[in-house]
Amino acid sequence: MKDFLPICREDMQKRGWDQVDFTFVIGDAYVDHPSFGPAIISRILEAHGYRVGMIAQPDWKDETSINIFGEPRLGFLISAGNMDSMVNHYSVSKKRRSKDFFTPGGEMGKRPDHATVVYGNLIRRTYRHKPIIIGGIEASLRRMAHYDYWDDCLKRSVLLDSQADLLSFGMGEHSMVEIADALNSGIPVEDITFIKGTVYKTKTLDDLPEHIVLPSYDDLKADKLNYARSFYTQYCNTDPFSGKVLVEPYDKGTYVVQNPMSKPLTQEEMDAVYVLPYMRSYHPCYEAQGGIDAIKEVKFSLISNRGCFGGCSFCALTFHQGRIIQTRSHESIISEAKKIIKDPDFKGYIHDVGGPTANFRHTSCKKQLTKGVCPNKQCLFPKPCKNLTVDHTDYLALLRKLRALPNVKKVFIRSGIRFDYIMADPDDTFFKEMCKYHISGQLKVAPEHISDAVLSKLGKPENSVYKSFCKKYAKINQELGKPQFLVPYLMSSHPGSTIKEAIALAEYLRDLGYMPEQVQDFYPTPSTISTCMYYTGVDPRTMEPVYVAHNPHEKAMQRALIQYKNPKNYDLVHEALVTAHRTDLIGYDKKCLIRPRNAGDVNGRADTRSRKKHSKPLTEAEKKYGISFEKYDSMMNTPKGKNPKNKKRRK
């Protein structure tokens, strides 16, 4: 029967079940769509004959909230949801967010902080000996000892703190079915130590195959450099072909053992995942509460690939999906597109065709599917590898098929585009067709910074590559007669960025004539190279010291510099420029970022230009910001081409 999986005992009984095999406890609302991890895992288990009941966002203060289906036959599954619960709850400044897009009506507070740990302990208090398997992105990225930004400390493996028996990391399709089959065959959960893509705890290392023993948890806490070395060892062993078994010792003779990552899905296996009978929406029980906002971004989008060989330092994809690209067939994607077109809410626009990186549709080189990725080298950084296969042909063919479908007006690309990969392609066909058919007015790309010193820590190409991309983008759009723009994503306070680099970025924006509406302040999330730098103060790849902005006030100054035109940021920008001895950028010259606080110059001497300009008394706003709020608002809100200064040119 095609329907949502049971969410209550009545649903279970309608299916003729007297017991579920697995009770799946999740931190998000129940959305049965292939963009949501719990939906994929529950449907795959169903396809293999297992009965799954869903408990979404249980009241963790009520121990009866996980008893909806009674005791499951095989065990409990736990996922915090599509996001780490702490990222879901808090901004980088550690302020509580006002909205949860994965909860009915956007209501906050329907899941606990560190949800995997809380749910695991909730279940264990009632079901002391029932197997508990944790997974999802929160568990995956906290599978070994990790730095927790919100508590500012090194935490143990989430497997221990949640009291779970097994942890499935990565995407989980292979490992979860193998775990279910092992439990179903009667193997005790403590003996399920042989499945790739899993982490387990043990008291003995006897009979363990070739493995690497990492520093103990006590050693990691004692010396941050031990953590940097341990983290990089883990990073170099994320490949399913070459990765080794890793062992992390804890006190009382306990070991946390990580098996190598699961093998990537073949195209046939990936197609099979997306053909499962998803309802493609949130459960109707949420309708009265306003529905689930998160579905809006993915309802009319198509996932075409997984994995990323881009290797950005601040991204956790290497630890979760891996660096080997996995793709769906054109037939699978077209079939899903036809389902989307039939949706009564479809307006003719496919919002996205992509994945972590939209324009990756094959492995970076031929050897990866047999030998894996290079453990100590990146495919695109610092320069494209000589063995890199650069080819947009398959992606281009897919896009052409999609935009030719009946009732499709436009096919957008909104996933990340690796501009350095585009620039490495000698054939401009994809670049031109992307500009002509697949963007609407603006293209969002992520140079992140313009300082090569910072870019080297970000794992991004030199700024010269982005400059070349910008020129080529402008040229192609000019040839097409399309006035389209680039919107760069920029990051402040990343390790390696001092106030000096932040000012250089502000000057770049000044020369560009662009002030971003949003700025991404570096957010230290678990299992990234950048977070390791933030915590340890060294680059784990080289063990060389890295400057890190830890002070919240300095982080605020770096962030404010990117939006230096905003009057609210004046004090922070002024302080940053004075601190960096860059008061040359405070004045009335076109190269200046801000104006002086008063009619005198920054050293207190009279400024004849300012006296001429302010022949009448200064307003309070002009004294403080060098410009009135009225004039600032007028400048910012004047429609393009209507500025009074343009009168001559228009004539």
- For 94-135, the pLDDT digits (tens) are 999 999 999 999 999 999 999 999 999 999 999 999 999 999
Same domain, 99 and 169: yes
- Signed CA dihedral, 393, 396, 402, 405: sign only: negative
502's tokens: 């932040």
Nearest to 444 by CA among 382, 557, 354: 354
Is pLDDT at 227 greater than 60 in this prediction? yes
Domain boundary among 419, 440, 461: 440
Alpha-carbon separation of residue 165 from 120, 158, 194, 200 (angstroms): 10, 11, 14, 7
Residue 101: Cβ-neighbour burial (10 angstroms; 0-12, 13-18, 19+): middle
Structure tokens at 571: 């004090």
Alpha carbon distances (Å) from 9 to 17, 66, 288: 9, 12, 21
pLDDT (mean) for 464-480: 96
Answer yes or no: do 417 and 484 share one domain: no
33 shares its domain with 172: yes
pLDDT tens-digit map of 37-80: 999 999 999 999 999 999 999 999 999 999 999 999 999 999 99
At position 171, the amino acid (one-letter code) is M
* pTM given for the model: 0.90
Residues 6+ apart with CB under 8 A from 636: 565
Give the C-alpha separation, 355 to 312, whole Å.
15
Question: How far apart are the C-alpha atoms of 609 and 599, rounded to whole Å?
Answer: 9
Q: What percent of the chain has pLDDT over 90?
A: 87
Indicate if the pLDDT at residue 589 is higher than 70.
yes
Report yes or no: 424 and 390 within 8 Å, Cβ to Cβ. yes
> Which ranges of 438-538 does DSSP label H, i.e. alpha helix?
452-458, 463-480, 499-512, 529-536
pLDDT (average), residues 526-542: 98
- pLDDT of residue 506 exceeding 90, the answer is yes
Q: How far apart are CA 107 and CA 109, in angstroms?
A: 7
Q: Give yes or no: residues 561 and 504 share one domain.
A: yes
Q: What is the pLDDT of residue 414?
A: 92
Domain enclosing residue 522, as ranges: 441-594
Each residue's pLDDT tens digit, 601-645: 444 343 444 434 443 444 444 444 344 434 434 443 444 444 444
622 with 585, same domain: the answer is no
Q: How much is the pLDDT for 379? A: 95
Would the pLDDT of 395 be above 70? yes
Nearest Cα residue to 26 out of 4, 56, 53: 56
Distance CA 157, CA 205 (A): 18
Among candidate residues 162, 26, 131, 167, the one with its CA nearest the CA of residue 83: 26
How confident is the model over 148-157, as a mean pLDDT?
A: 97
Span 233-259, average pLDDT: 96
Q: What is the mean pLDDT of the chain?
A: 92
Tokens encoding 142 = 């906290």
Within a domain: residue 249?
A: no
Q: Are 493 and 558 in contact (CB under 8 A)?
A: yes
In-domain check, residue 16: yes
What CATH number should be reported for the domain holding residue 182?
A: 3.40.50.280
Q: Is residue 382 part of a domain?
A: yes
Residues 638 and 501 in one domain: no
pLDDT of res. 196: 98
Q: Let me know whether 118 and 107 are in one domain.
A: yes
Instruction: Kindly report the length of the chain.
Output: 651
> What total of structural domains would you count in the chain?
4
Token representation of residue 379: 């495919």
- The last residue of one of the domains, among 395, 425, 440, is 440
Which token pair is 13? 């009984």
Structure tokens at 263: 């093998």
Give the mean pLDDT of 346-375. Answer: 93
- Boundary-marking domain end, from 440, 475, 504: 440
CB atoms within 10 A of CB 304: 27
User: Which amino acid, one-letter code, is at 265?
Assistant: L
Task: Provide the β-strand partners of residue 245.
Answer: 211
**Stretch 211-225: mean pLDDT:** 98
Residues 26 and 169 in one domain: yes
Q: For the residues 241-251, what does the mean pLDDT come to?
A: 96
Cα-Cα-Cα-Cα dihedral sign, residues 71, 77, 78, 79: negative
Please count the helices (runs of H) and the strands (runs of E) in the chain.
27, 24
Q: What is the mean pLDDT of residues 589-606?
A: 69
Task: Name the token pair of 419.
Answer: 């501009």
pLDDT at 469: 97
Can you give the pLDDT at residue 613? 42
What pLDDT shows up at residue 576? 97
As given in the structure block, the two tokens for residue 98 are 């006002």
Are residues 236 and 172 in contact, defined by beta-carbon separation less than 8 angstroms? no
